């Protein structure tokens, strides 16, 4: 069994400070590389009522609202909308209603009227998202593909620039958006063709994705988030460790992120520390991620770690 722990705290400098004098870092102020769950909300009552009106039509006439007499349909009366608005808010039901409406193409004009958020797995909002015309459809697809009965799980990678505020959430202007689930990552590991193995691997990936409970603003966080998104050899190692009978006593006990400056480059060693519950022996593995620029990339594969002073 693997017990995930959150990224250990460190006192390393944050790459995104505009006042940092290190070469080239001034241009990266506010860069974010973060994993989370896409969420939405109505900014005001008028938008909510518009969604509820469309949902009423969809319930009555189906999602393919393309009939010639569509515009002649009777709109729900104000009393119905008033009662809906006065009812106790249920976030899960609201999200299900929004997904239902956005599945209908004629209603997707309403996507621009919504407030879009990136949340963690506990429904805490990390950023308010500012999408472009290019990635708006990606946001819609990610939202409507989320099943209402699905356990809360990471489903998106967002790269962008954060515009901080004194109060409230930071706005995040999206540069890159990738819809991403544990199953999507599992499909990039071709050695596992057995359906049961794929399901087991997906479960392992879901456990580790829960470690991405951060804002993606520091060097260490960006490196961890990248490894959790693209560390295919890392996940294969974790799966094989979990599936081997003689390794069942091995547990993840901590994660270290160590910054190293190599000339103009900023590297982060992401170290996973494991312990055998029977012998208490420690074993560490790591990958090196280059976080110098907006888009991190992998420098070394997942391999045993030796701490050299």
Task: List pLDDT tens digits, range 89-119.
Answer: 677 788 889 998 998 888 888 999 999 999 9
For the chain, which residues make up each domain, given as ranges?
1-22+182-309, 31-41+114-180, 43-111
Q: Is 238 exposed, middle or buried (0-12, 13-18, 19+ CB in 10 A)?
A: buried
- 8 A C-beta contact, residue 111 and residue 139: yes
What are the residues whose beta carbons fall under 8 Å from the beta carbon of 135, sequence distance 6 or more? Answer: 174, 176, 177
Placement of tokens 């009812």 in the chain: 87
Q: What is the pLDDT of residue 215?
A: 93
Q: What is the pLDDT averaged over residues 230-248?
A: 75
- 54-64: average pLDDT: 79
pTM of the full predicted structure?
0.79
Burial of 144 (0-12, 13-18, 19+ CB in 10 A): middle
As a residue count, the chain comes to 309
pLDDT above 90 covers what percent of the chain?
Answer: 42
Q: What share of the chain is helix, strand, coil (3-state, %, to 5)?
A: 35, 25, 40
Average pLDDT, stretch 49-57?
Answer: 91
Given pLDDT bands bounded at 50, 70 and 90, which one contains residue 172? very high
């Amino acid at each position: 069994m693997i017990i995930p722990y959150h990224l250990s705290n460190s006192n390393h400098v944050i790459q995104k400070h505009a006042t940092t004098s290190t070469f080239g870092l001034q241009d990266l102020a506010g860069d974010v590389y973060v994993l989370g769950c896409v969420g939405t909300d109505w900014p005001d009552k008028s938008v909510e009522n518009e969604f509820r009106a469309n949902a009423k039509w969809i319930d009555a006439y189906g999602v393919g609202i393309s009939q010639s007499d569509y515009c002649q349909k009777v709109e729900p009366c104000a009393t119905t909308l008033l009662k809906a608005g006065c009812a106790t808010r249920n976030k899960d039901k609201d999200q299900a209603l929004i997904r239902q409406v956005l599945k209908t193409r004629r209603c997707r004009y309403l996507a621009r009227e919504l407030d879009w958020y990136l949340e963690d797995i506990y429904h805490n909002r990390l950023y308010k998202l500012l999408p472009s015309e290019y990635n708006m459809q990606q946001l819609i697809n990610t939202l409507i593909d989320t099943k209402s009965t699905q356990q809360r799980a990471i489903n998106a990678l967002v790269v962008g620039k954060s515009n901080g505020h004194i109060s409230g959430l930071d706005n995040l202007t999206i540069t890159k958006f990738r819809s991403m689930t544990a199953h999507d990552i599992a499909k990039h590991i071709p050695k596992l063709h057995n359906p049961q193995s794929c399901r087991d691997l997906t479960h392992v990936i879901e456990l580790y994705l829960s470690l991405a409970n951060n804002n993606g603003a520091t060097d260490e966080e960006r490196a961890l988030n990248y490894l959790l998104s693209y560390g295919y050899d890392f996940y294969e190692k974790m799966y094989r460790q979990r599936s081997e009978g003689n390794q069942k006593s091995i547990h993840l006990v901590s994660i270290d992120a160590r910054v190293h400056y190599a000339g103009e480059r900023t590297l982060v060693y992401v170290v996973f520390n494991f312990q055998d519950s029977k012998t208490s022996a420690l074993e560490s593995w790591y990958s090196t991620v280059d976080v110098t620029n907006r888009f991190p990339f992998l420098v070394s594969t997942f391999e045993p770690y030796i701490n050299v002073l």
